[in-house]
Amino acid sequence: MKDSDYFKFDIVTVFPALLFVLIMWTVYWLEVKFHFRFNSHGIQPQKVSGLQGVVFGPFIHSGLKHLWSNSLPSLVLITALSFFYRRISLFVLIIGLLLTGILTWLIGRPSYHIGASGVVYMLTTFLFFKGLFTGHYKLLSLSFLVAFFYGSMVWYVLPIEEGISWEGHLSGAISGIVLAIFTKNKLPQKKKYLWELDHYKEDEDPFMRHFDENGNFIEFSEEEE
């Protein structure tokens, strides 16, 4: 499989991210328009009724600032997931969301945990570590970009700021690493240059013919070439 067949940017690439963010904004619009409060549908740890938040929690936000801070990263990271890992992108997104929610439910404080930040952490760690594990140059580049733009997020897996669900962040980070380790993704075939081929012979290489066995340059006339 060539790179051009593997890395495709089309409607399939952006649709999951657009849909995810659209649901987030629709939920917030419903709260503002009809004066609803969906916080009680977030994750409430160690309570059976709080398990509903595993599914609903990522789409509920406490305010516009909270919503916006999760919208752009969600849009960028889900699109990157779909572009670089199309075959497994939906699996990673859905299982990662559920796994992040369940871990938050297990380790979280007795409060309502809402917002997509756990999913953002899951995507960030998945994209970073999966790129390192695969070794493909484009996926490695993505890992470095993720580390550059989102590396500072690592501090928020610790309880350093009151009112932030660090448990959700930590759960997302763990989920992303687990998925990066255990998911399998068929990569495009690595491009091989002429000298890497099994049947390669130096004396048949037009470039190498210009050098003798000692590495000295040999100039040929047009007829000789």
For each of the domains in the chain, give its residue range(s) and CATH number, in order of start.
3-182 (1.20.1540.10)
Mapped onto helix, strand or coil, the DSSP state of residue 217 is strand
Strand extents, DSSP E, 140-217: none
Q: How many residues does the chain have?
A: 225
What pLDDT is recorded for position 221?
Answer: 52
pLDDT of residue 200: 47
The answer to whether 141 and 193 have CB atoms below 8 angstroms apart is no
CB-CB neighbours of 18 under 10 Å = 13
Which stretches in the chain have pLDDT values below 50? Answer: 195-196, 200, 202, 222-225
- CA 85 to chain centroid, in Å, comes to 8
Q: Are 194 and 206 spatial neighbours (Cβ–Cβ below 8 Å)? A: no
The CB density around residue 117, as the number of other CB atoms within 10 Å, is 25
Q: Distance between CA 133 and CA 115 in Å, rounded?
A: 29
pLDDT at 195: 46
For the whole model, what pTM was predicted? 0.82
